[in-house]
Amino acid sequence: MIKIKNLKKYYDKELVIDDVSLEINKGEIYAIVGHSGAGKSTLLRCINGLEDYQEGSLKVLDFEIKNLKQKNPKKLRNLRKDIGMIFQNFALMERKNIFENVAMPLRTHFTQCKIHSKIFNKEYMSEKEINEKVHSLLEIVGLKHKFNAYPKELSGGQKQRVAIARALTLNPKILLSDEATSALDPNTTKNILELINKINTEFGITVVLVTHEMDVVKDIAQKALLLEHGKIIGSGAIDELFLKPNHKMKEFLGESDFLPTHGLNIKLYFPKEIVENKVITHMARTLDIDFNIVWGKIEKLNGKALGNLVINIDHKDKDKVLNYIEKNGVLWEFAS
Ligand SMILES: Nc1ncnc2c1ncn2[C@@H]1O[C@H](COP(=O)(O)OP(=O)(O)OP(=O)(O)O)[C@@H](O)[C@H]1O
């Protein structure tokens, strides 16, 4: 769906996207994560052709965005039909009611006049069809009853639902979300993420989420990429990223392991099937050994509980402990 290779983007002489490569497949929910100023929004804006880039390749649905921007703006406009976008500040038209806000892309893209359609070779859509489309989208986002209201009469969560309905009007294949939940409280955030998840599964829409909120990533994304000063400092499936974080990822998460300097530190990774089993206490009983639990966590990633734990054991127990944990399907490595 989206293929980016060695992308570089400068603002004047400042390099803000530094050799970024990534691939987002159809139907994925992919998060772009990083602190403020990391280049997340810029990357998203390059994807939908709002920004130029100077080096590398960025293909959306097999079209090189730079070529379309330079040589085929009409095609770029058409491609944008396949890309819906939502923002932190909702970007609704305050003077128009909810119905008209959602209808706006339809009115821009289609003409409601058959004669115009013929003369200007523009696609036609009748008022009745617009009406049906808008109402069906408002139903999907749970706001059918609010079609007549104005943005100022809605809560933040409701406004974002309207923005989502509007982003879906032209049946996009991709939904780009730029900090869509950053202005919302945790409960509303959860509801909006559920809606995005529903849209992803029911309509097969690929979602690219820009966020600085780790909880958002953990809740909904299957893959993530971590940006720092425009550079990728980690990427991959989120269970790998969170449970086996590299040094940079740990820094980003604000984690560090304080490991004892005596004995052996072993980091255990619990796959989802065994996370809730009492492997560790069972091991202590079965092997009749003592050990310390140094550090551990269980994360709910994408609806699945996964965990890791660092234990400290005596050197003399090494063989029997490793033997035991391997037999029980627990992945491990020495922690240092
Ligand atoms: N239009 C612009 N002109 C010049 N520099 C810009 C422009 N937009 C962004 N930048 C710079 O590019 C860098 C990346 O900005 P960007 O907005 O992409 O970061 P971000 O990770 O999305 O941050 P935030 O989460 O705060 O929105 C920053 O150093 C920013 O100052």
Q: Using one digit for the tens of pLDDT, what is the confidence trace for 119-135? A: 777 777 889 999 999 99
Determine the longest span between alpha carbons in the chain, in angstroms.
Answer: 87
Which residue, among 204, 299, 199, has the nearest Cα to 249 in the 3D structure?
299
Q: Using one digit for the tens of pLDDT, what is the confidence trace for 248-298? A: 777 777 666 577 888 898 888 776 666 555 777 788 888 888 888 887 777
Residue 38 CB–ligand 1 contact under 6 Å: yes
How do 264-270 and 29-34 pair as beta strands?
A: unpaired
**Residue among 17, 35, 42 to mutate when testing ligand 1 (max atoms within 8 A of CB):** 42
Please tell me which residue, 238 or 8, carries the higher pLDDT value.
Answer: 8
Question: Phi/psi at 316 (nearest 5 deg)?
Answer: -65, -20
What is the full DSSP assignment across 179-245?
Answer: STTTTS-HHHHHHHHHHHHHHHHHH--EEEEEES-HHHHHHH-SEEEEEETTEEEEEEEHHHHHHS-
Report which secondary-structure segment, H or E, holds 196.
helix 186-203
Q: Does the pLDDT of residue 84 top 90, yes or no?
A: yes
Mean pLDDT across the chain: 88
Q: Which residue's alpha carbon is at the smallest distance from atom 16 of ligand 1?
A: 39
Lowest mean pLDDT among 111-120, 137-146, 170-179: 111-120
Residue 261 CB–ligand 1 contact under 6 Å: no
Can you list the domains of the chain with their CATH numbers?
1-82+172-253 (3.40.50.300), 95-170 (no CATH), 261-334 (3.30.70.260)
